[in-house]
Structure 1
């Protein structure tokens, strides 16, 4: 297969051609797409693997009938180990021998066994953590495609994904480990700090809700009952207050116009007072 040249200036899907300089246009216009043989040779030199997801050409294409044999010929000519080339298309899967089989859709474990598939290539939106763990438990490797963000790469890394495909390898190359991993000392510090803050919040809420009870206990009033408090208040009243109460009681009886010789004796602390119908004597 000879290299094919694609002129990007024939169509401008992203409307960015006008922003390029003349030098950039010349350099981009001379770029070519490498052949399948060159790509497989590059993978062999880098000790890498190749995933073939080739579609059958349309009927008017000159390779419409021979595309399958041309692909196998390219693999053989490149000199790469067949174990490093994974076959994805469902077309003519039974005729492919010696190449690991893969699929680019989510399949049940029964379908995977029937087709002899050993790996799956799924878009990241279709690869859940549960599915990944289930496939890995049955020795089915999973490759997740369209992984360009470091956070997504970290999530899949922790999920146990075998490999990922990306349009931004220069970004993922700078992520040597999941981005949210922390050292043991940092984890211990955050753990202890969160525990102490939680304890302080619980104590603060308890004190706020029981403020009056705590204040009553700390004042020492818990040693008195209500009867003792009332008696203490009465005993602390001054003699003047008691005399005023006595006078109010006497004059209230006079106003009622009592005709009987009823005597009312009041015995204050320092003397006595006697009231009778005839008068008032001290």
Structure 2
């Protein structure tokens, strides 16, 4: 029965790995050098696809900005990021299955012979993976910083999962090692050395793990939930920088404030808009077919008011949520226009909310090219009526624009930083009574990361999801984590030792039975036992 199962398993893995029936392998048990090289190439491809997949999973926070960047360079609105993710998932799953079948070959002491179709597939997977990694390293370098952040956040649990996996696999590993010793002559001690080396390495990994959610505070002293600035309003469920988007964020999801962008029109009116040109979020191509390509700031405010700034959301579907909007919402979105800065202030301050915005400079040929900053400040102080002490502004370190923070309902000293800031820097700023606003934070895990770090506020495009995130998913003191780590490792080690003792004892009993057959002169029985490990078609005649 056992031999039949073994032959059936060998036939299955041989068919999947080499696309041939098992009996074609029984002529020669030794793997060729070329096939060993191909297995090494496949192993390298597996590691590359794993790294590539983890990159695209961890950087999902900036998926929308990546798509917007492609639109800016190509003029095509397409889910590029999602496409890259699918490629990474498919290549990883394919190579992982081949690796699994390769290791099963080794466990069954079968000759490796990867089919030509799979060789082509491995090469194509490697080429696509390296191409994506190189492309990210050249054009999207900012995505890499999410990898260490995600590892820092889930590192303690990755270690526990890895230890648990190797612990569970110990029964199969020990059984395979005894099989290798019995059938291939590889000493059990030598083969088990590498398994225990990897296991011990995982045991001591927490020494090098730092996570923002491993804190000295107790649960009752957790940092407060970061306040939420809605990025361009509720931009994932309504057209950005419009009246309806701001109202949804402030009224429906109780955003602490709005984070947006302000420009200055050709006739000197500050207005709410992000892009340098109008074509992504308006119908400028239809309204101004002769000059829609010129910078947005080169239009007067009256011309800007002619534009439809909301219909594009239902038509282009920039977010997954846009596929589920109702006909009533489509009608409401189509009535949205471009707001002036004064209109935005009235909407936000009437609700006693805060405001954070980037004031972007106009082109050099613009009538207000040298006075855009002072003109905007004059509008804030005269038309809106704010005292200079009620707002602050500073030149952005990453661009030619200025950042304005309305302090009407907030007396903090605030620093506005990108989401690549280390959690130690956030804590250091907090100790110096400087509040940190991190932009842009859309994924729940990244929000939890900066919550643990002590960020006072975050700017998010996902106000509709993060507003309901009201508690830390996990938080441990260093002492609790140390106890959990040590107890888990001790339990794992005891389990593995017991499993290996059982398997070693089982292997020795098999040897003793064979020796008794020989010493009793039972030649026929010995031959039968010895031949039972071989495939049936080797001795059937």
Taking structure 1 as the reference length, the TM-score comes to 0.49
TM-score, normalising length: structure 2: 0.28
Greater gyration radius: 1
Higher helix residue share: 2
* Greater RCO, CA 8 A, separation 6+: 2
